[in-house]
Structure 1
């Protein structure tokens, strides 16, 4: 499975987040998956890719040309795709991914999460989406979504469209279990888009 990992590229974060990204990359490789990332080699983005490669996984990085110096494009990627802008970056990451794993991150990570989550709630795809949050960064987000649901602003299945966990092994278990439940007709659609 090609798993897209959304995570931070900020260098000002606590080391525990970078360590989490490394643990994710190691587990992804142990399970034999391919990694799709935002193509940077610093912070969490770089850590997850380096750990995945160290474990023998193929890594695909997708980075906009404008961020090649800011996020420092990852030349070690098995495939590094440079896009003209952020929109085409997200579209390419989406196109190449069978599942999505969201780690703690900033507003860019939230943007990616919301786009994939919204399109799943709207039935535009049925690929697994899991949020891995062992440190509770996204607790206020979860509360906000609950409040939005209570006020009628979200669809009832908003919570079914995403898995939440604090454990790296459980995150991959959820992704793999959800991927196995894709119907043959959905699988054919995904293959035709690849």
Structure 2
């Protein structure tokens, strides 16, 4: 990546987070908490790179090594001083409005996380405590809207996909928008942008105001998947597990488009939760879909689920090939069932409290080489536990592919090793090889993909 034009600028918030306490400013300053300042600098740089095609955190950080951000608290409120910032985030010296909103959303979430984690009110030692934390962070971000009937559709899929797959995701988003449904994604490019773009046009056709394009991300991913400019609500969760929990707590149904290991990770996380005995009766519409060209991908993912988790897991989702209208119709029908179920049980529409999520799905997984090699991938495990461990394996591969920390670990220690029963490893190896052959393991600049992992049975 070549050095881009840079700019120095002073930016103030609009609509939220006009003030910070002296302690919060100290936490975010370079001389205060170095790790907090580093975290905000990385997130800010990613947001300022919105619209770029770079999907490697290490590449972006190295390209703007001299970028700096300083937080100033004045009598009139907060101001950010940016030095050597990407010039593409500005028009005639003024920061683009959506970029400014997301920049201060990042500041809001990082400040909240730092202040709350040191609070006695937060108990991250229990499953309920972690769920409460996710709830409070989303509420602080004004994401939870009581009284609105279920209409938030989560869309998962790859950030680096074919043109045909991207166009298809837009068509599905358009059909969702025509039915006045809102869209939540991981907020990046590709499938995370396409449904939002399609829904935006449809919402305009329906003269719908107040449409929501919710983007949920986390610091380890945001640099590799900078937010797309359609996102009008950005929330940065502290880690991948809390991000995934936020998806299933605020989303009322999920559509899964073609992608790679990141999409498979999300899919396995969702299946692991839905397969828990306590969630057997909880309605949660899940649809796998894609254009005709993606039929092989969808079938391979379906076969992998059957081979590892069994037929019961396959019953928790539907597959729709190349039919955006049918996808939207089925999702609308599924949301009616969600609405009925929650009304009968007096569960909130804005946060799915009844869904059981065990600590194994909530605890952050640090994909060290030792942790990856010791993952229990055995057939004798309950399906929801096996799904959780498979999810961790895919999470490690994502880290080794695109996250700065993971890339550096692979450079230093070599490839991850993934061990398990032959009956699990063979389908896993087959699926990963299919991802490589279908160019779903892309690297920046067209560099041929070298696996960051080795499957051992």
Task: Tell me which interval the TM-score lies in, with the shorter structure as reference length.
Answer: 0.7 to 0.9
Q: Contact (CA 8 Å) 1:103, 1:133: kept in 2 or not? A: yes
Residue 87 (structure 1) shift = 1.4
Equivalent residue runs for 1:91-130 within 5 Å: 91-122=245-276, 123-124=278-279, 125-130=282-287
Moved more, 139-148 or 113-122: 139-148
In 2, the alpha carbon distance for the partners of 1:15 and 1:183 equals 35
Matched, 1:52 2:199: yes
Equivalent residue runs for 1:161-172 within 5 Å: 161-166=316-321, 167-172=323-328
SS in 2 for 1:32: coil
In 2, the alpha carbon distance for the partners of 1:186 and 1:50 equals 30
Residue 142 (structure 1) shift = 1.9
Residue 130 (structure 1) shift = 0.8
In 1, the alpha carbon distance for the partners of 2:339 and 2:312 equals 19
Q: Name the structure 2 match of 1:28.
A: 176
Larger Rg: 2
Q: Contact (CA 8 Å) 1:17, 1:104: kept in 2 or not? A: yes
In 2, the alpha carbon distance for the partners of 1:158 and 1:37 equals 23
Moved more, 13-22 or 176-185: 176-185
Equivalent residue runs for 1:13-24 within 5 Å: 13-24=161-172
Q: Give CA deviations for 1:33-62 in whole Å, capped at 9, x if unaligned.
A: 01010011x222122222222332421011
In 1, the alpha carbon distance for the partners of 2:348 and 2:256 equals 21
Unpaired runs of 5+ residues, structure 1, are none
Q: Contact (CA 8 Å) 1:163, 1:174: kept in 2 or not? A: no
Equivalent residue pairs, number:
186
CA, structure 1 residues 18+133, in 2 after alignment: closer, same or farther (shift >3 Å)?
Answer: closer
Equivalent residue runs for 1:1-194 within 5 Å: 1-10=151-160, 13-40=161-188, 42-56=189-203, 57-122=211-276, 123-124=278-279, 125-134=282-291, 135-136=294-295, 137-148=297-308, 154=310, 156-166=311-321, 167-182=323-338, 184-187=340-343, 188-191=346-349, 193=351
Residue 75 (structure 1) shift = 4.1
In 2, the alpha carbon distance for the partners of 1:178 and 1:185 equals 11
Question: Under a length normalisation based on structure 2, what TM-score does the superposition of the two structures give?
Answer: 0.38
Residue 171 (structure 1) shift = 1.4
Q: Give CA deviations for 1:135-154 in whole Å, capped at 9, x if unaligned.
A: 21121222233344xxxx53
